[in-house]
Amino acid sequence: MAIDYQKEGRIAIFTINRPEALNAMNVQAARELHQAMVDFRDDPELWVGIITGAGERAFCVGADIKDMLPFLKEHLQNRPWAMPDTPMRGLELWKPLIAAINGLALGGGLEIALACDLRIASEKARLGTPEVMLGLIPGWGGTQRLPRMIPQCKAAELLLMGKPIDAQEAYRIGLVNIVVPPEAVMPTAREWAETICQAGPLAVRAAKEAMLRGSGLTLEEGLRLENALEAYLMGTEDFAEGTSAFIEKRKPNFKGK
């Protein structure tokens, strides 16, 4: 399997499992990622996802040049949506995703991380978008997400020059949340996932939806979206449980209902 998909309680773990190719994404890996992400989206028992790469060298170095790029060249001009839907493009997913960046995150690999909500980077990680050196541009959202996450001049530096940056620079410009020793990447990701799992899952998803959808709206439109989502949450069992637990000074038992 190119994508190792595991379930640990409320947490789904997706491991890009092609270490011999520095976890480059081929067509099969993209299809397996789609299938795993759909299962994660539709499984009510899963609340948070973690994406990482197999081995110690790479998170993902992007598209497999020998496999993926010929496929894209053949299909994209006439069938621009030939690729399976993923969080990078086409798959609407409000459950939170954490990128555990254990090594190189280049091209499509960085774009996978950008499609996540939180990014934990190894001290040895290097991140970049080298596509222009191949005569291409990032095709999984890099040109759109980078300028929305970091200063436009830094996004331009990454996109136009094609040179990677190290983990500390990625942290300095706000591209990753935290930098940790290599051996702490997955433990930190699990710790963060468990923290999220303590909150009401419907509230977490609504917060993500409001944040992401609202970024493309005017402030007035965003506030209306926020109000609609809050009104929905107030009618859920989780809201009743959360408020009761607070009054009774106990931990809430959220059920995602």
Q: Which residues are catalytic?
A: 111, 131
CA dist 33 and 86 (Å) reads: 7
CA dist 64 and 23 (Å) reads: 9
CA dist 6 and 27 (Å) reads: 21
| CA neighbor of 180 nearest in space, from 117, 171, 107 | 171
Q: Which segments of 100-218 does DSSP mark as H helices, in order?
A: 108-114, 142-149, 152-161, 167-172, 185-197, 201-214
Cβ atoms of 68 and 26 within 8 Å: the answer is yes
